[in-house]
Amino acid sequence: MDRRDVAIIGSGIAATAIAWTLVKQGHRVTLFEKGPFGVDPPVRQFQELFRYGYRDPAHEAPRDLKALTVSGEYRHDLNDERVMAVGGSATRWAAISLRMRPEDFRTRTLYDFGNDWPLTYDEIEPYYCRAETLLGVSGDDAGNPFAPPRSRPYPLPPFEPGHADLALSERLGRCGIRLHTTPQARARVDYDGRPACENIGLCTLCPTGARYTPNHHLERLGATGRCTVIANAAVRRIVTDRAGRAEAIVYRPNDEMCDIEHGANVVILAAGGIESPRLLLLSADDHHPNGLGNNSGQVGANFTMHHSWSGVLNYPEPVYGGRIGAVTTQCHQFRDPPGRGRHGGVRIDLSSNFLGDLPSTRGSRSGAEIVERMRSLPFRRGLIFEAESVPDPGKRVTLSNASDRFGDRLAHVQYAANDFDHRTYGFVCELFDRLAEASGGEKAALKRADEFHSGWHHMSACRMGEDPRTSVVDSYGRVHGVSNLYVAGAGTFAGTSGAVSPTLTIVALALRTADVIANQIHTTKINSGPFAIGRSSK
């Protein structure tokens, strides 16, 4: 059995932030990724997709390994919302990097819904600063009275509002609705080896590297010689010893027949909001018959997602949306609205980079017909309402009856919106009406209540808390009952991340976890305690 310091399952943004911190301090880290390596920046993928109209499945894990089953009423392809490749889902993200508000950590106390987090905004604030530095966040809170307090300025200047944004901002401002810039991990100017954004606009696969992806750091980590990424390998379970501590992980290269056991002094599970609970459940053993960290049946029980609805407003004059790829303007005014508790808070994305659902060109018979189908484009503006949600018995991650190629049960997600979500949708409809009236736009479309999208934000299935009876991990991500096993990622959130994208909070928490692990390894190295490095192999 190979024995190294730290094993991280997953190679996404949380895994990378932890690896970056630990390797910089001299520790050895091995990351395990089910999907293949990618290149940073992903020029080839960009060209295949946007120049030749081809999505190569080889850029991700095989479909039978990247799979899940779903029941309930979620209408979108949940499996498509997970990227299983080195770098994880943050190789495709929109890069919006927002902090939660202080109130978001105390919703049970303040508004009688959701769960209080076992940490406060003040505790996480320094880590938000570090996360912004790591990701290279461009931003400015000057025009945003709803931004949470900060101890350090953003590392990069903001993306300014566009021409169309200013006109809209003025109209909305007259009706008391404030728009402002959006912090994002997209380089406004050259930063840390990344070039300034050129506004190419097809940002899901930024071909220049201006938008942050974990591969930016993973490639550097590889060069240190202290970090190894094992790609195309599925981790099947985490092994614990008689004392109940994680001592190894068992993985199998995707195309091989034999398992390999990899010893580790610390194991970090950072495989995403659905795969992480799955692996805890798959790792059941004599000491943990219900799965690791699942003595109280909490693994998977608190799963929730953001609920996002998109809409379109049409204007009589052309506004020419879509001339910028970066996210320019948002409205945070309703993140913590007066009715919060009865319904959720809502963040509104009014950036001119979004045009709503584009018309299909399939079956077109001429160029003129294509142009005609797209005729409304210059006159329209897309909106996204991203709302917080709450855990519910109708939302859960469990193990499926279906299995992957190795016979390991897949994850099963049951998801159904609850009354809170429906009331939030009512609030969204009110906001849509207000925005249309204030901006002089005609309401062209708004998704129905049951058409909500998760925004790719899968949260809370390994919820953090101080009480093992109601949570899976503590505030550092340490699994209750398994002292050297950690979970990182949005799965550890105590609920949703308010109404904001979770990524910056994921990275801030990951950095906090990394500090604790580094400190523990360092201390126990000296004392030859349970974290002693170099124990003999089995």
Answer yes or no whether residue 434 interacts with other proteins by CB under 8 A: no
To the nearest whole angstrom, how small is the minimum distance from the Cβ of residue 184 to other proteins?
13
Tell me the HSE value of 25 on the side-chain side, using a 13 A CA sphere.
18
Whole-number Cα distances in Å, 205 to 50, 114, 158, 211: 9, 35, 21, 9
Answer yes or no whether residue 53 interacts with other proteins by CB under 8 A: yes
Q: Which stretch binds other proteins (CB under 8 A): 224-232, 331-339, 358-366, 416-424?
A: 358-366
Tokens 């499996």, located at residue: 79
Contact 282, 293 (CB under 8 A): no
Interacting residues with other proteins between 9 and 48 (CB under 8 A): 43, 46-47
Among 261, 320, 434, 443, binds other proteins (CB under 8 A): 320
Instruction: Please tell me the distance from the alpha carbon of residue 482 to that of residue 239, in angstroms, as a whole number.
Output: 11
Answer yes or no whether residue 318 interacts with other proteins by CB under 8 A: yes
Interacting residues with other proteins between 157 and 196 (CB under 8 A): 159-163, 188, 196
Q: Which is it for strands 260-269 and 2-9: parallel, antiparallel or unpaired? A: parallel
Give me the 202-231 binding string for other proteins, x by CB under 8 A, dash otherwise.
x----x------------------------
Among 176, 365, 526, 536, binds other proteins (CB under 8 A): 365
329 or 471: CB nearest other proteins: 329
Whole-number Cα distances in Å, 222 to 28, 215, 251: 11, 10, 21
Buried (b) or exposed (e) across 104-131, using 16+ Cβ within 10 A? bbbbeebbebbbbbbbebeebbebbbbb
Among 223, 367, 526, 528, binds other proteins (CB under 8 A): 367
To the nearest whole angstrom, how small is the minimum distance from the Cβ of residue 364 to other proteins?
4
Answer yes or no whether residue 200 interacts with other proteins by CB under 8 A: yes
Count of residues of this chain found to bind other proteins when the rule CB under 8 A is applied: 44
Annotate 40-75 with DSSP letters as a single string: SS-HHHHIIIIIS----GGGS--TTTS-EEEEES--
Nearest to 492 by CA among 7, 18, 64: 18
Q: Which stretch binds other proteins (CB under 8 A): 50-58, 216-224, 237-245, 253-261?
A: 50-58
Among 142, 175, 371, 532, binds other proteins (CB under 8 A): 371
Answer yes or no whether residue 199 interacts with other proteins by CB under 8 A: yes
Answer yes or no whether residue 444 interacts with other proteins by CB under 8 A: no
Interacting residues with other proteins between 101 and 130 (CB under 8 A): none
Among 126, 222, 341, 378, binds other proteins (CB under 8 A): 378
Residue type, 98: L
Nearest to 158 by CA among 130, 180, 179, 128: 180
Contact 508, 15 (CB under 8 A): no
To the nearest whole angstrom, how small is the minimum distance from the Cβ of residue 501 to other proteins?
22
Number of separate helices (H) and strands (E) present in the chain: 10, 18
208 or 296: CB nearest other proteins: 208
Instruction: Please tell me the distance from the alpha carbon of residue 355 to that of residue 319, in angstroms, as a whole number.
Output: 11
* Residue numbers at the binding site for other proteins (CB under 8 A): 43, 46-47, 50-54, 159-163, 188, 196-202, 207, 318, 320, 322-325, 352, 358, 361-368, 370-371, 374-375, 377-378
